[in-house]
Amino acid sequence: MPYHGKLLLGLTGNIACGKSTVLQRLSELGAHTIDADAAIHTILKHDGPAYKPVVAEFGKNILQPDGEIDRRALGKIVFSDPQKLRRLEEIEHPIVRRYIDDLIKDAPAPVVALDAIKLIEAGWADKCDAIWVVTCTRPQQLERLMQTRGYSREEAEMRIDAQSPQQAKVARADTIIDNSGTLARTHHQIDTAWQAFLHAHPHNSPYTE
């Protein structure tokens, strides 16, 4: 049964594997896209519902001069301490879940692609009509984190190691997108998987005849 009347395609994969690349392509193909990380950015803003409880828990030393939460400073705290990471997730997850739920309800397209690194752990996978997992190699993850996000090698490794193993996500996948090659190769996999997804749900999809 479609969730809120929408076909829900769940997209996940570990950090820096290229989920945003896949999400962008799905948007071009006609899906309404939701980025859970962007949703977390929104709820952590000064006027967001997670701001006060997170600052109360982790202290004002995580704030920037403008009063906004410095996510990099917060990351240094939680990614070096599994208990603090769990505590942050306990605060964030119920709030971001309600926020995303509303985004799905209000989505203007019949197919919604939800990109969430914690798709499985947060329970979203159970509501999805299909789960896609994006993969690449660990050296590629490290290189991308250091080059595109400016992390030190130690910071990059800490973030990778804080996540569940890639194989745990792959085990739940209906489709695996291997993003270790060229962009053209990745797009070919996405386009093929998208058509297969639509044809698997012909009664709900407006894109199939």
pLDDT of residue 205: 57
pLDDT of residue 1: 62
Express each pLDDT in 78-135 by its tens digit. Answer: 999 999 999 999 999 999 999 999 999 999 999 999 999 999 988 999 999 999 999 9
Express each pLDDT in 151-202 by its tens digit. Answer: 999 999 999 999 989 999 999 999 999 999 999 999 999 999 999 999 998 7
pLDDT-derived band of residue 208, with 50, 70 and 90 as boundaries?
Answer: very low
* Nearest-angstrom CA–CA distance, 50 and 90: 11
* Nearest-angstrom CA–CA distance, 132 and 110: 18
- To 5 degrees, how large is the angle CA 151–CA 154–CA 155? 45
Phi-psi region of 123 (alpha: psi -120 to 50; beta: other; left: phi over 0): left
pLDDT of residue 206: 55
Express each pLDDT in 33-87 by its tens digit. Answer: 999 999 999 999 999 999 999 999 999 999 999 999 999 999 999 999 999 999 9
Residue 201 in tokens: 């749900």
Helix (H, G, I), strand (E, B) or coil at 132: strand
Considering the entire predicted model, what is its pTM? Answer: 0.92
